[in-house]
Amino acid sequence: MNNLQTKHWIVDKKTDILTDNPQVKEAALWITNDEVVAFPTETVYGLGANALSDRAISKIFKAKGRPSDNPLIVHIATIEQLHNLVKGIPEKAKTLMDKFWPGPLTIVFEGDSSVSPRVTAGLKTVAIRMPDDPLALALIKEAGVPLAAPSANLSGKPSPTKAEHVLKDLTGKIAGVLDGGATGVGLESTVIDCTCNPPMILRPGGITKEQIEMVIGVVVVDKALLPNDETVTAHAPKSPGMKYTHYAPQAPFILVEGSPQFLQSLVEKEQKLGKKVAVLTTEENKHTYEADVVVACGYRRDLKTVAHHLYDSLRRFDDQDVDIIYGEAFPYSDVGEALMNRLTKAAGGQIIKEPTVTK
């Protein structure tokens, strides 16, 4: 598995014709031969294999070093493909599909008995989404099978938002990468369980709770995801993947809730100890910091831009050999919810709060 000649197929989504495209065809041929191929989606790059082949699925787990109790999302290009994978389509799921597919929303259904337990990790449910990326849809159509695909990173690393991230993690371990440039959203899809009523958000992501509630009314959020909830340790998340430390850069990452001046004081303390200190900030605040490495990740006034750049920024610290990273926190509203979910995970729960000044 470690000596594959990983191919790099570059496709320009704007100008290249994707039907009968030679690169897409070659990638699809590898898929039908039970190999794994990385491809872009609108969220992050996925590591795709034939969802109907156990042999192919096992190669995904091997390439990523993924624990086998963590189920995969199945990616489809047409609604016909959905019917063979699920037992039924609940009314609210149908409404969500009409509104958000193709798009960054993964829906958990009751699985058809034909779906392999390798995909579902033995659960009775199956997670499915239709990605909003022309290259992803062309690949699925050309391969003629649904693609099981986790994010195309080594387990524990930040998800890849560029083909170069995939190549860094998986060269030699996979058949190839379809390179469609940087992904748009930058964070993974929202996962919503529609087998319960009200439906439950298992992972915050590209589609916000507010957007979902606009179309199907009240939904709940898996308690294990709520910040500062005392039950967190007692309550295992319903989405198996949410229990793993994820998205982590190599150096310890600490999230700071407070002013830039407070964060700068933490930087100086570590520098006095001889450490190489990095700061993850935004365009608005970057000039406030004097640290060894300062990475601005989008604009605070538009959290979508922060989401878009986040994983690339986290990966950049690994190239700079820093000892410790301090990152600014964000409000838990709209896409800020998904952003803080990922940042809290990257920090392994380490958050420093600025003491409030009492008069």
Which residues are at the interface with ligand TXA (CB under 6 A)?
Answer: 41, 43-44, 46, 70-73, 104, 106, 108, 120, 123, 125-127, 131, 149-151, 188-189, 191, 202-203, 238-242
Paired residues of 8 in beta bridges = 177
Shorter beta-carbon distance to ligand TXA: residue 79 or 269: 79
Q: Which residue is it, tokens 């190549």?
A: 167
CA dist 172 → 4, 6, 245 (Å): 5, 6, 25
**Residue 190 interface partner, choices Mg ion, ligand TXA, none, CB cut-off 5-8 Å depending on type:** none
Smallest distance, ligand TXA to C-beta of residue 235, A: 15
Shorter beta-carbon distance to Mg ion: residue 142 or 188: 188
> Whole-angstrom Cα distance, residue 342 to residue 335?
11
Q: What is the DSSP letter of 165?
A: H
Q: Is the dihedral of CA 46, 48, 54, 55 positive or negative?
A: negative
Can you point out the beta strands (E) in 113-199? 125-129, 147-148, 176-179, 190-193
> Whole-angstrom Cα distance, residue 201 to residue 124?
18
Smallest distance, ligand TXA to C-beta of residue 71, A: 3
Paired residues of 352 in beta bridges = 256
SS (H, E, C) 346-357: HCCCCEEECCCC
Smallest distance, Mg ion to C-beta of residue 231, A: 25
**Residue 242 interface partner, choices Mg ion, ligand TXA, none, CB cut-off 5-8 Å depending on type:** ligand TXA
**Residue 149 interface partner, choices Mg ion, ligand TXA, none, CB cut-off 5-8 Å depending on type:** ligand TXA
Q: How many CB atoms lie within 10 A of CB 2?
A: 8
Smallest distance, Mg ion to C-beta of residue 44, A: 8
Burial 197-210, CB ≥16 within 10 A → b, else e: eebbbbbbbbbbbe
**Residue 240 interface partner, choices Mg ion, ligand TXA, none, CB cut-off 5-8 Å depending on type:** ligand TXA
Smallest distance, Mg ion to C-beta of residue 151, A: 3
In the complex, which residue's CB is closest to Mg ion? Answer: 151
In the complex, which residue's CB is closest to ligand TXA? Answer: 241
**Residue 191 interface partner, choices ligand TXA, Mg ion, none, CB cut-off 5-8 Å depending on type:** ligand TXA
Shorter beta-carbon distance to ligand TXA: residue 41 or 313: 41
Enumerate binding residues for Mg ion (CB under 5 A). Answer: 151
Smallest distance, ligand TXA to C-beta of residue 109, A: 8
Residue 93: strand, helix, or coil: helix
As a whole number of Å, the CA-based R_g of the chain is 20
Smallest distance, ligand TXA to C-beta of residue 281, A: 25
**Residue 161 interface partner, choices ligand TXA, Mg ion, none, CB cut-off 5-8 Å depending on type:** none
